[in-house]
Amino acid sequence: MHGNKKGVRDPGGTRKRRSGYHASQAAGPIEGAGAVAGSIGGGGVSIPGRVLLDGCCLLLRISSWVAFLVVAVLESKVVWTPLGDELWRSPSDASLVCAHLAARLRGALSLPLRLSRCWKERHQPAERRVEGLVGLSHWLFGVAADAALGVVACALLLRHTEAAARAAHQALHLLHVDVLSEELEWLNYFPAGFKLNVPLTHTLGSLTLVGMEAYASIVGQLAQWEGAAMKAIAICAAGGGLTTALAVAHDILRLLALHTATAHTAFAALHNLHSSLLGSLWQLFRGRKRNVLRCRVDTCMYDACQLLLGTLVFTVLSFLTPTISVYYTFFCIVQAVAVGGQVRPPSPPPH
């Protein structure tokens, strides 16, 4: 009798709860939450509590899908190659804020998987458990320290907004006037003893100065928004951590220094064209030519007029080499200084 009563009670109570528990252990983080919710609901939890738990699980799934979609968009390779070169690859390559956001979302997406893996390995040897927990704890500590430093940076920026805006304005004025303008003027008068081509130097220097002064006047109109920009950076520091604020500041400075990047791109294209012309003329003197279709160098016979014209052009380009090289080297240094302060976002925990 007692055995039959126990057999009748057992399938309705203990076995159902055990089955729900094992289902939650076998499933992933999101499916496990749904299985636990079902077992709790079958154990006597009220209907509103079960509905609330199911709603939380559904919200977790939807947020995971949205985060995965955002990461896919930020890291999508969009390549436009009209000339065979990659001009733009992805939003993460174009903006440090996008790269930082993608890294944070990747870490958040991998966090439930890491937690469930650590929970499944709780009965494993200590060495294996420590190996799984070290990477996760390192990333969590980095995010927590980043958030704490972000709160401190937010408080400092909100307290010294005017001083920070004034310092940023002076730094931009130093970059636009005291450094670039004076250095470009210095390049017009035989820098470091180099004998440059005077007409070409004056032409390149005048065009560069006109473009930079026009861009500086446009940027000067935005001086009234410097305080608002500092407050926006402070809000980003409080909400996303110190690295988020640094990424936003980096992108803002990159936009403000767009004229130097444009000048560097223009002089790099000019230098590449000049080098390719010199290389082609050197092949002409050797009786060779570049076969573009087969990607090789073939022999070729040239007449006297072609050799004479090639000699004249090669002589002119050779005398223009120091001028083009000086301007190209100068803007390479400026661009290297401009992009040298990039902030690397914290990497997500390894899978």
Please, what are the averages of pLDDT over each run of 10 residues along the chain (351 residues)? Answer: 45 45 41 42 56 71 73 64 49 76 79 72 70 74 88 89 82 73 80 79 86 80 80 87 86 82 90 90 80 74 82 89 90 81 47 45
Question: Helix, strand, or coil here: 67?
Answer: helix
Phi and psi (nearest 5°) for 303? -90, 180
Do residues 278 and 316 touch, judged by C-beta distance below 8 A?
A: no
- For residue 289, the surrounding DSSP H or E stretch is strand 288-291
Pair of tokens at residue 189:
């008068």
Q: What is the sign of the dihedral through the CA atoms of 170, 166, 149 and 254?
A: negative
Indicate the residue type of 158: L
Rg (CA), the chain: 32
For 288, residues 6+ apart whose C-beta sits below 8 A from its C-beta are: 297, 298, 299, 300
Q: State the pLDDT at residue 271.
A: 92
Q: State the pLDDT at residue 77.
A: 65
Q: How far, in Å, are 185, 203, 335 from residue 207 at the CA level?
A: 12, 6, 18
- Whether the model clears a pTM of 0.85, i.e. scores above it, the answer is no
**How do the domains of the chain map onto residue ranges?**
2-123, 157-339
Q: State the pLDDT at residue 294.
A: 75
Q: State the pLDDT at residue 337.
A: 79
What is the total residue count of the chain? Answer: 351
Q: State the pLDDT at residue 272.
A: 93
Do residues 164 and 249 touch, judged by C-beta distance below 8 A?
A: no
